[in-house]
Structure formats: C-alpha cells, structure tokens
Amino acid sequence: MRPSEPDLGARRPPAPTEEERALFRATLKDAQPLKKAKPANSGVGAGLRPAPTISPEKAEPNCGVRSAPPPALPPRKPAPNPGLDRRTAERLRKGEIPIERRIDLHGMTQENAHAALDRFVRAAWSEGRRMLLVITGKGSIGSGGGVLRQGVPRWLGAGEHASRVLKITPAQPRHGGSGAYYVLLRRRRDEEP
C-alpha cells in the first residue's frame, strides 16, 4: 500500500479455484441468452414496451374502478357529556349546583305527571333557570322501579325539551336519591323561544 492511499480495511475476495470455475461452467452450459428488446423510440423510456391496448368489447366493466367505497371508520363515540365540562359534570353528579326550581310528581298519574313536567320545564326555560330537581318517587320494587321514574328521562330526552336539556342524572340522597333527578338545562340564547 502506498502512503497516499487510505486503508479502507477491505480485502478482495480470493480468486476462484479451478474446481469452482468448472462448476460455474457446468451450471451455465444449458443457459440461453435473453433476447434484447428493440427500442420503440430513442426518447425517454426507450426499451420499454408500450402498454397493451384493449378494445372496448374486451374490456371488463368497471376495469380499474373500485366497485365499492373503502370501508368507513367506525363512528366516534360522542363525548360523555357533550357541551358540559368535566368540573360541572362532577358538581352536578355530587349535587353541588344550587337547585333553582323543583317539582314533585310523586303520586300523579303518568298523563298528569307528563303534562306537569312539560309546563314546569317550559316555565323554567322561559325564566332562564338551569338547575332543576324533578322528584318522581322510587315506585314499587316489584314493578321495576316506578313508571314516573322510568318515564321522566325519556320524556325529557325525546319531547320538545330535548334540545333544552343538557344533562339528566340521579339526585343525591339528600335531594331524593334514586327517586329524583337533577336536570341541567342549556344556557338560553336571546333568540330562542
């Protein structure tokens, strides 16, 4: 090695032995050389074959087009309390938000209770009240917990008040426990009736 050449630390592989050369020749004795393709033109892509053309009669219907859209992603779960921050949701659950209006439906028929609840929520909404307590009573254990107790969340979630109600949650024991609900209404905008 000359002093001006850097030492790369790479060695050349040893020259093949006569036995290795004979084996190589024996392996390739039946091999045929590949035919060289004639260039179609001398420009870019010379030596490449042109794409085959397919007549419209022989073309498959929807050739190259997806027949179905890609599978959609599963729908995202909505936030546990849309429009309600975590701190407010926790205060509501613990019964720490001051109750502004209350109604006791205990002992009413289902029809009368539904009508009274509608009037109550409508009045609270028009006054700008937000935190309501709805007392339903626990109902009998044998009937699954009471008709009013089961009906109030459905009535508020599906009727005219569905867009007004932000959250319904069972009340704390000091406010009636499982026989009452906290109902938090959305903030009223001036343009809303």
Tokens at 165, concatenated: 């109600």
Please give the residue that has the higher pLDDT: either 139 or 1.
Answer: 139
Beta strands 131-135 and 180-185, pairing class: antiparallel
Residue 111 lies in a domain: yes
Look up the domain containing 91 and give its range.
86-184
Tokens at 65, concatenated: 């087009």
| Beta strand ranges found along the chain (DSSP E) | 101-104, 131-135, 165-170, 180-185
Residue 78 lies in a domain: no
Residue 73 lies in a domain: no
Domain CATH code at residue 117: 3.30.1370.110
Q: Report the pLDDT value the prediction gives residue 38, as an integer from 0 to 100.
A: 66
Residue 32 lies in a domain: no
Q: Report the pLDDT value the prediction gives residue 112, as an integer from 0 to 100.
A: 93
Average confidence (pLDDT) over 58-75: 57
Q: Report the pLDDT value the prediction gives residue 131, as an integer from 0 to 100.
A: 94
Tokens at 131, concatenated: 């935190």
Please, which pLDDT band fits residue 135 given cuts at 50, 70 and 90?
very high
* Contacting residues for 153 by C-beta, under 8 A, at least 6 apart: 168, 181
Residue 103 lies in a domain: yes
Cα separation, 62 vs 16, whole angstroms: 57
Among residues 106, 81, 112, 96, the alpha carbon closest in space to that of 186 is found at 81
Query: Looking at this protein, which amino acid is placed at residue 41?
Result: N
Q: Report the pLDDT value the prediction gives residue 170, as an integer from 0 to 100.
A: 92
Match 């392996």 to its residue by tokens: 27
pLDDT reading at 182 higher than 90: yes
Query: Looking at this protein, which amino acid is placed at residue 16?
Result: P
Residue 117 lies in a domain: yes
Considering its fold, how many domains does the chain have in total?
A: 1
Tokens at 98, concatenated: 């001051």
What would the pLDDT profile of 137-179 be if each residue is shown by its tens digit? 887 666 666 888 888 999 998 888 888 999 999 999 999 888 8
Quick check: 185 and 160 in contact, CB under 8 A? no
Decide: pTM greater than 0.75.
no
Average confidence (pLDDT) over 61-84: 58
Quick check: 117 and 156 in contact, CB under 8 A? yes
Residue 112 lies in a domain: yes
Residue 79 lies in a domain: no
Please give the residue that has the higher pLDDT: either 20 or 3.
Answer: 20
